[in-house]
Structure 1
Amino acid sequence: MIETSSIPQKIKQLMIILIPILVTQLAMFSMNFFDTIMSGKYSPADLAGVAIGSSLWVPISTGLTGILLAVTPIVAQLIGAKEKRDVPSTVLQGGYAAIFLSILVFIIGALVIRPILNGMNLESDVREVAYAYLVAISIGILPLFIYTVFRSFIDALGMTRVTMVITLMSLPINVILNYLFIFGKWGFPELGGAGAGYATAITYWLIALIAFWVIHTKQPFNEYRIFKVIPLPDWSKLKELLTMGIPIGLSIFFEVSIFSAVTLLMSNYSTMVIAAHQAAINFASFLYMIPLSISMALTIVVGFETGAKRVKDAKVYSWIGVTFALLLALIYGALLLAFKSDVAFLYTDDLHVRELIGHFLLYAVFFQLSDAVQAPVQGALRGYKDVNITFVMALISYWVIGLPLGYVLANYTSWGPYGYWLGLTSGLTAGAITLSIRLIAIQRRSMKTARPVQ
């Protein structure tokens, strides 16, 4: 990354960092996207089972990988402050954290998955698909977490195109493996929805190994000699990582888990409603990759400028990102309204399920606008290393406002399952407002305390 002096230069640098991140996020999400679509083509029960399994897996995996994303702002600020010698230890301590978290998740999952599924009001075939999917995808926990650390280091250097290439290389393999394992082609076992879990787990191993090879052998990453000396776990470094990472992870967990909680609450409805809801959430989440990518790009550029004490530049980057995200949300929201029937056709051939998907997508348009504000604002705040208040705001917005309101609307009004989506929109809107206020406050404080660059 380089220092910029004008808004056009900032837009250009932001785009250079953002576009590869967006492609990477879309490709990473496409693994789950194709899991859902291809399972739906196998049967509605497999679509519903993968939906339930994903609802348990996604918030845990994204929340814990969110802890490891703290590597990005830490490394970005170190580079901005020209303290490159501390980068290798930060990355390796992130690796230790990844190993510990993966072991923890594997052990806890083995103990609680079956009781949780048994406690849900699910049809037996849906329950078995969900369990088999979770067992299969658990094989990929360790490489997913390790890859997150490697990717955070690569992205913090502004080399986001590298992770884009890695992910694009692996996506076709994931789709082919889905085809083989779900439908039992070319002599492979026919596993249905569970096959999607095995395909994704294998793909996680692939991208982790490729990222390791790139960091170890290719410039400019090998100049940092990340693996030259492998230190023992360093509590001071781990403490810095976890102090930042845990609030980031919890913020992400509270946002993602509210969608999963809604899916789990919908287990009281029919398999058709569960399948339609999950398909609509899946596509809405696909669109969410746009503001999420802008958020990740802002963490990098704001962290870089803050580390270099260029607080005015950090502020300008923040609002360029938010504005761009909001404009894009207006565009793809209009497109979603126009083509909701075509989107529903992607997920299933069942006419009733397609009709339900179309209804759910109408509500998705509204919370896309709130996502377009709150996600980039969170990314900017992470660049400032402001994470604790953000976590509290996320908790209140999603779980104190959004989910309870959705439950009331779904169970005590005529909105039915659509009431949950109105609650989601309310929670995301509250988050967008409160987080924006926090960002303005942080920017004002940083401007007052900034020292002139010598």
Structure 2
Amino acid sequence: MPIFSQHYQEEIKKTFLLALPIVIAQLGVVLMGVTDNIMVGRYIGKVGLGSAGIANSMSFLIASIGMGGLSVVAPLISKAKAERNIVEINRLFRAGIKVALWFSLILGVVGFICIYFFEIFQQSPEINLQAPTFMAIIIVSNAFMFVFAAAKQLSDGLSRTYVAMMITVFGLVLNLIFNIVLINGYLGFPKMGLNGSAASTLITRILMMIAMFAYLFNTKTFKKYLHVKYKSLKVNDLVSIIFKIGVPSGLQFFFEIAAFSLAVIMMGWLGENQLAAHQIAINVASTTYMMASGLGIAGGIRVGEGRGLKDVRKIRFSGNVALLLVIIFMTTMMLLIFVFNRFFVELYISDNEVIKIAMQLMLVAAIFQLSDGIQVVSLGILRGIADVNIPTWITMFAYWVISLPLGYFLAFKMEMDAIGIWVGLLAGLTVSAVLLTGRFYFLIKKMKIE
């Protein structure tokens, strides 16, 4: 007897095939940061690792609003595809690029203001000296990442998710090569040390953006959506819609990532060993999170298609399958982290004090895998039905009212040190997962079956 009905089996297959390239692409994105940290940890040491960690965390926190905001475009394109509206797909693509440019300008200014006042984060003198320049280079590279993300919404929304996957894997290889060359000054390049890692990220993101546009405009599959005859059509109305839906969506990412970024700052208050250990554990957790977010994106696209077809049963099935797949995946990741705890930590550094702390944090990271996966997929499928405002409040409550205050209390008042901060993060993720999943099924019950 099959475990699932044929309807479920078909939906699982479609969602899995759609999600797999997105998961690989998301993994590639986070592995660029992992590669940077491994190279910095190996070649420069724990102070360099801490500097790169806090600079990357702050930069990604700022960028999260733009990346989350742009992610709403793919479900809108999927909806337009279900409605067979080619003109709308073209306008959404061009509106997405405009929004990406606005995000680049606005969030770039915010980033450089943070750099100017960097000492307010109360880090050690060594990190205050090294991190700002590294962060400035990453902030510049974010602009190219935004435009790449906007362009890939077209291929993702049309269920051609392999495009971004291929380009991201290519970028991952380039980033590794550029890291080794620029940090150490090989092949005639100047030895840039820590900043060589940031420069590697900048160069890689520029090349990825160029590759994405080259592929879209020179491939038959996409040409009918990018025809020059649509160029005169106005897109400002769609720019407004993307901002209206996208900014709350971006804030959902922001509230979660802010919790982890502020955790980095609190780790810096505890000491350089705790900061380096946190960076190692968060890199591993971020890897599984980004892969789970790929399932969330795929689930959002499938739900968006159901919305375009006005088929509530399809919306429910797509949401169920996305959640089922992430539960299976994150349970597997939890077991892997438990088993290969020390192996993962020792990939980064050989400092025994850092290894001891990092292994404790990895155990907490293993426990919160399931909550992290469920909450990010729930956000994705809610985005597919254009529900963004209430989920934004839920994420703010989970991370800023529960996670951060609890983490601070446990770490500094109860003297649990680094692990106290991570227990707070676990609590916030769990609350978010429960409330967001409940929100999806509450809305489904209210929809009229057609």
TM-score w.r.t. the length of structure 2 is: 0.96
The equivalent of 2:104 in structure 1 is: 102
Q: Which moved more, 1:287-296 or 1:249-258?
A: 287-296
Query: Aligned equivalents of 1:132 and 1:168: distance in 2?
Result: 27
- Alpha-carbon distance in 1 for matches of 2:23, 2:114: 34
Q: CA deviation at 1:226?
A: 5.4
Identify the residue that residue 418 of structure 2 maps to in structure 1.
417
The answer to whether residue 273 in structure 2 is matched with residue 272 in structure 1 is yes
In structure 2, relative to structure 1, the CA distance for the partners of 1:226 and 1:128 (3 Å cut) is farther
> Are 1:68 and 2:78 matched, yes or no?
no
* Cα pair 2:92 2:235 within 8 Å, conserved: no
Q: Which amino acid aligns with 1:362?
A: L
Kept in 1: contact 2:270–2:417 (CA 8 A)? no
Task: State the distance in 1 between where 2:385 and 2:40 align.
Answer: 41
- Shift of residue 442, structure 1, vs aligned partner: 1.1
| Equivalent-residue separation in structure 2 for 1:345 and 1:231 (angstroms) | 56
Name the structure 1 match of 2:251. 250
d(CA) in 1 for partners of 2:228, 2:414: 59
Matches of 1:391 and 1:31, distance apart in 2: 28
- After TM superposition, the structure 1 = structure 2 runs for residues 278-357 of structure 1, keeping only pairs within 5 Å, are 278-357=279-358
* Equivalent residue, structure 2, for 1:398: 399
- The alignment covers a number of residue pairs equal to 445
CA shift, 1:157, in A, is 0.3
Distance 2:41 2:353 in 1: 13
More deviation, 146-155/104-113 = 104-113
Structure 2 match to 1:131: 132
CA apart distance, 1:227: 5.3
Q: Is the 1:216–1:227 contact (alpha carbons within 8 Å) kept by the matching residues of 2? A: no
| CA distance in structure 2 between the aligned counterparts of 1:445 and 1:285, rounded to whole angstroms | 34
**Other structure's SS at 1:220 match:** helix
Which residue of the other structure, out of 50, 54, 57, is the alignment partner of 1:55? 57
- Tell whether 2:21 aligns with 1:20: yes
1:198 aligns with 199
Q: 2:208: which partner in 1?
A: 207
Contact 1:62 1:252 in 2 (8 A): yes
Distance 1:205 1:139 in 2: 10
- Aligned-partner Cα distance in 2 for 1:163–1:266: 34
Structure 1 position 384, deviation (Å): 0.8
User: Normalization by structure 1: what TM-score?
Assistant: 0.95
2:47 alignment counterpart: 45
Structure 1: which amino acid aligns with 2:274? V
1:80-229 equivalences under 5 Å are 80-115=82-117, 117-225=118-226, 229=230
CA deviation profile, 1:170-216 (whole Å, cap 9, x unmatched): 21111000111122222222222221111111111111111111111
d(CA) in 2 for partners of 1:330 and 1:18? 17
RMSD over aligned CA atoms reads 1.6
Q: Distance in 2 between matches of 1:317 and 1:111?
A: 42
What's the CA shift for 1:445?
1.6
Question: C-alpha deviations, 1:89-137, integer Å up to 9, x for none?
Answer: 111111111111111222233333131x212322222222211211222
Structure 2 SS opposite 1:20: helix
Q: Matches of 2:194 and 2:234 in 1, distance apart?
A: 39
Structure 2 counterpart of 1:394, one-letter code: T
CA contact (8 A) 1:302 1:384 kept: yes
Q: Distance in 1 between matches of 2:380 and 2:269?
A: 36
Question: Aligned AA for 2:88?
Answer: D
Question: Structure 1: which 5+ residue stretches go unaligned?
Answer: none
Tell me the distance in 2 between the aligned counterparts of 1:308 and 1:104: 36
> For each residue in 1:22-71, what CA deviation from the matched residue of structure 2 results, as whole angstroms up to 9, or x when unmatched?
11011111111111111111211110000110121011112211111121
C-alpha deviation, 1:329, in angstroms = 1.7
> Partners in 1 of 2:37 and 2:331 — Cα distance?
26
Residue 32 in structure 1 maps to residue 33 in structure 2: yes
Which stretch shows the higher mean deviation, 217-226 or 52-61? 217-226
Alpha-carbon offset, residue 231 of structure 1: 4.6
**How many angstroms apart in 1 are the aligned matches of 2:134 and 2:438?**
41
Label 1:30 to 1:228 Cα distance change in 2 as closer, same or farther (>3 A): farther
Question: Matched residues in 1 for 2:144 and 2:229: separation?
Answer: 21
Unaligned runs of 5+ in 2: none
422-431 or 161-170, larger mean C-alpha shift: 161-170
Tell me the amino acid that sits aligned with residue 201 of structure 1: L
CA contact (8 A) 1:182 1:192 kept: yes
1:28–1:312 Cα change, 3 Å: same
Contact 1:91–1:226 under 8 Å retained in 2: no
Partner of 1:377: 378
Contact 1:409/1:419 (8 A) holds in 2? yes
1:235: which partner in 2? 236
Change in 2 beyond 3 A, CA 1:315/1:109: same
Structure 1 runs of 4+ off > 6 angstroms?
Answer: none
Amino acid across the alignment from 2:57: S
Determine what percentage of the aligned residue pairs are the same residue. 28
Alpha-carbon distance in structure 1 between the residues aligned to 2:442 and 2:108: 40
2:78 and 2:56 map into 1 onto residues whose CA distance is 32
Query: 3-state SS of the aligned residue for 2:121?
Result: coil
Of 117-126 and 33-42, the range deviating more from structure 2: 117-126
